[in-house]
Amino acid sequence: MDSATLLARITDYASRPNPYPLYAELREAGPVVPQADGSYLIGTYHLIAALLHDPRMSADPRTRGEATHKPPFLRLDDPEHHRLRTLAMRPFGPPHSPGRVDGMRGEIDRIARELLEPFEAGRQIDIVDDFAYPLPVTVICRLLGVPHEDEPLFRAWSDAIVAAADVRPDDDSTKPDKAGDQARMEMGGYLLNLAEQRRGKPGDDMLSAFVNEPDPALRLTDEELAETAVLLLIAGHETTVNLIANGALTLLRQPEQLDRLRREPELLPRAVEELLRYEPPVHMRERIPHADIDIAGTLVPAGASVVLVLASGNRDPMRFRDPDRFDPARPDNQHLGFGSGIHACYGGPLARVEAYAALGALLPHLGSARLVEDPPPYRQNAMLRGPRHLPIHL
Ligand code: HEM
């Protein structure tokens, strides 16, 4: 088929259960594959990694010439990005130290076990709604200092924000963005109000840390604080839900690997790295050249949308041996699941601890479990890809 329709075919909902053959087609057609809509697709590992580190590429949608309001720092360029990222990372603890996340290990394990308690053998459970979803939302709300009873508010808000953040927001191009903006504002307003209540009353949560920062040079404005808290909630939770659900699905599809993990639970951390490679929660990220640029022999004009298909890079046979095989003991696993370069995910340590807790708690139950539907129903989003439901019979 025509390689100029690849992005349209990838984002087509029918491809959601298995986009990987299209990624193989992309790497064959590549390295730089112009699309009918004026964008450029890139799916090979080394080129994706190089572009993630290339200062000529912008993450800011305003580089496309679009008049939109200032985005959160995930989509800002340096030096603005660097300042906000540094400030937002501070409450996680000093870099390269276990800090706050390690201190929560025991609690995260307990939350995971408690979520599974009500489900006895013979029952049906939706791994997404009953387990993968509540775990990270509970953890990130606890970190930020959001009271437990307010957690349900976040589901509706984050669903709307994530729908609007797709590479191709659904059908009616005006509607999802509006709903997303509205949800972003409401969530930001809620968090700001909460932060306000903590002013002068420092607790051990991150909102308190942000709002009670004594050094004026390190203080966030109200708007920045709201944006940052919303970003942490969204970035830190939809992704983790997908990682846990993709993990359960992968293991249920491969009983021999599941058995192996049950026999050798010390392999779990490596199995989670392999999941981040093999079924990553984030499939693509967009970058935009500041000026006309030659990318591997193709002239890409300033302002063009360059879509880096991280999930394709993760399956690139020029980088990974036998890339379509799920190997929980894979050595040399420098995947692109958390991105790379200045925007590389700093929530990785937390996401990993949550995935170890979740899959560790699930392992004893999965041996006799079976999938009710394969493939399960997927979410619309092609960029943040994962099952919408994952019903299993225990
Ligand atoms: C399995 C879970 C997760 C996955 C797969 C994931 C993946 C990613 C990826 C691929 C990026 C790079 C985006 C880009 O280059 O455009 C990113 C950035 C980011 N992630 Fe994560 N993430 C996860 C969990 C988390 C958690 C738990 C948090 C925080 C609590 C978090 C916070 C962030 C932030 C703040 C950024 C933006 C960093 C920047 O722009 O400098 N993520 N994440």
Estimate the crossing angle of helix 238-253 against helix 134-144, to 10 degrees. Answer: 150
* 228 Cα nearest atom in ligand 1: 35
* 73 Cα nearest atom in ligand 1: 40
Name the token pair of 345: 């995910």
Full DSSP string of 218-244: GPPPHHHHHHHHHHHHHHTTHHHHHHH
**Interacting residues of 3 by C-beta distance below 8 A, sequence separation 6+:** 25, 26, 29, 33
Cα of 343 to ligand 1 centre, how many Å? 8
Q: How far apart are CA 38 and CA 288, in angstroms?
A: 12
The number of folded domains in the chain is 1
Contact 230, 184 (CB under 8 A): yes
Cα of 231 to ligand 1 centre, how many Å? 9
pLDDT of 1 = 72
Output the average pLDDT for the chain: 89
Name the token pair of 116: 């599974």
Residue 295: what are its φ and ψ, rounded to 5°? Answer: -110, 110
Q: Helix or strand or coil: residue 95?
A: coil
Residue owning the nearest CA to atom 20 of ligand 1: 345
ω into 152 cis (within 30 of 0): no
Cα of 267 to ligand 1 centre, how many Å? 24
Q: How far apart are CA 344 and CA 235, in angstroms?
A: 12
Residue owning the nearest CA to atom 9 of ligand 1: 338
Residue owning the nearest CA to atom 30 of ligand 1: 236
Question: pLDDT tens digits for 166-189?
Answer: 555 544 444 556 778 888 889 889
* 92 Cα nearest atom in ligand 1: 30
Q: How far apart are CA 289 and CA 267, in angstroms?
A: 41
> Which residue from 60, 286, 305, 345 has its CB within 8 A of the most atoms of ligand 1, so it is best to mutate?
345
Beta bridge partners of 295: 298
Question: pLDDT tens digits for 336-364?
Answer: 999 999 999 989 989 999 999 999 999 98
- Tens-digit pLDDT string for the chain (394 aa): 799 999 999 999 999 999 999 999 999 998 999 999 999 999 999 999 999 999 999 999 999 987 778 888 999 999 999 999 988 887 776 544 556 778 888 999 999 999 888 887 778 999 998 999 889 888 888 888 888 888 888 877 877 777 776 555 544 444 556 778 888 889 889 989 998 899 888 778 888 888 888 888 888 888 888 888 888 888 888 899 999 999 999 999 999 999 999 999 999 999 999 999 999 999 999 999 999 999 999 999 999 999 999 999 999 999 999 999 999 999 999 999 999 999 999 899 899 999 999 999 999 888 888 999 999 999 999 999 999 999 999 8
Q: How far apart are CA 317 and CA 149, in angstroms?
A: 47
User: Quick one: which H or E segment has residue 382?
Assistant: none
Which CATH number do you get for residue 322? Answer: 1.10.630.10
Nearest to 251 by CA among 267, 235, 237: 267
pLDDT of 166 = 59
ω into 79 cis (within 30 of 0): yes
Residue 261: what are its φ and ψ, rounded to 5°? Answer: -65, -35
Q: How far apart are CA 24 and CA 15, in angstroms?
A: 13
pTM as predicted? 0.93
Nearest to 386 by CA among 244, 255, 272, 254: 244
User: 99: phi > 0 → left, psi -120 to 50 → alpha, else beta; which?
Assistant: left
Q: What is the dihedral of CA 356, 361, 364, 369, to 10 degrees?
A: -100
Name the token pair of 217: 């040079």
Cα of 74 to ligand 1 centre, how many Å? 8
Residue owning the nearest CA to atom 1 of ligand 1: 240
Residues with CB under 6 A from ligand 1: 59, 73-74, 85, 140, 231-232, 235-236, 239-240, 243, 280-282, 285, 337-339, 343, 345-347, 350-351
What residues make up the domain containing 177?
A: 3-393
Q: How far apart are CA 55 and CA 34, in angstroms?
A: 21
Name the token pair of 359: 């899959």
pLDDT of 244 = 97
3-state helix, strand, coil in the chain (%, to 5): 55, 10, 40
Distances (CA, A) of 240 to 93, 113, 245: 20, 17, 9
Cα of 232 to ligand 1 centre, how many Å? 8
> Which residue from 144, 238, 239 has its CB within 8 A of the most atoms of ligand 1, so it is best to mutate?
239
CA angle 130, 383, 339 (to 5 degrees): 100
The bridge status of strand 40-42 relative to strand 306-308 is: parallel
